[in-house]
Amino acid sequence: MRIMTQNVAAQKRTVATSAKKEGLSVQDLILVAVLIAAGAVLKLTVSSFLSFAGMKPNFMIAMYCLAIILTRPKVYQSVAIGLLVGLVSQLPMLNATPLVNIASEMLGALACGLLVTALAKVAADNRGFQDIVAPVIITFLSTIVSGYTFAMIVGVAVAHLEPLAVFGVYAVMVLGTATMNAVLAAILTPVLRAVLKR
């Protein structure tokens, strides 16, 4: 009886794994939507209170990184999540630079998806790495990619400023934001994993 129960459980895991490989499930899509919405709300409400010397967490980036880390979509699906975040960021209250966020968030999400895939084998064998170290690395580097892409586009788009000058101004701010986002990921990833398991 026990062997039959174990076989049934193993078959269920196999089916779930094969279904997962086909793409994001409905539950995954709901989680992505909830996290993006939460990121928008937090950016509008809490973000300014956590500002320090021009640096503050970017909840939109942190939340889409969490969504990608938790759902492990295919790389092209990660880019689609970045596009969605970029489009949401076009709301006037969330963005003072129209269209720039679309490119920066797509590249940030692409970096996030690639890093999740690259670190998946290491994370699978080490629970501590999976819950804390990997999310910190992934979120930090994805924020760097998004932030510096944003800085370079703004520098090129604004004719009277040198791109490198703008990049220099943003350099420290982006590093600070990336650090804050990484801390958020380290705190929230194990919590959200525990909630999802329940």
Taking the domains of the chain in order of start, what are their residue ranges?
24-197
Taking the model in full, what pTM does it have? 0.81
Residue 94: burial class (beta carbons within 10 Å; 0-12, 13-18, 19+): middle
For residue 76 the two structure tokens come to 């092209």
Long-range CB contacts (within 8 A, 24+) of 82-85:
82/106, 82/107, 82/108, 82/109, 82/110, 82/112, 83/109, 84/32, 84/36, 85/36, 85/39, 85/60, 85/61, 85/109
Residue 5 has what pLDDT? 46
pLDDT of res. 150 = 87
Q: What is the mean pLDDT of the chain?
A: 81
Residue 16's pLDDT is what?
A: 44
Residue ranges for the chain with pLDDT beneath 50: 1-2, 4-20
CATH architecture of 24-197: Orthogonal Bundle (1.10)
What angle is formed at CA 135 by the lines to CA 133 and CA 140, rounded to 5 degrees? Answer: 100
Distance CA 161, CA 61 (A): 26
* Residue 160 and residue 167 in contact, taking contact as beta carbons nearer than 8 Å: no
Rounded CA separation 181/85 (Å): 16
pLDDT at 153: 81
Classify residue 161 by its DSSP letter.
S
> At which residue do the structure tokens 């880019």 appear?
79
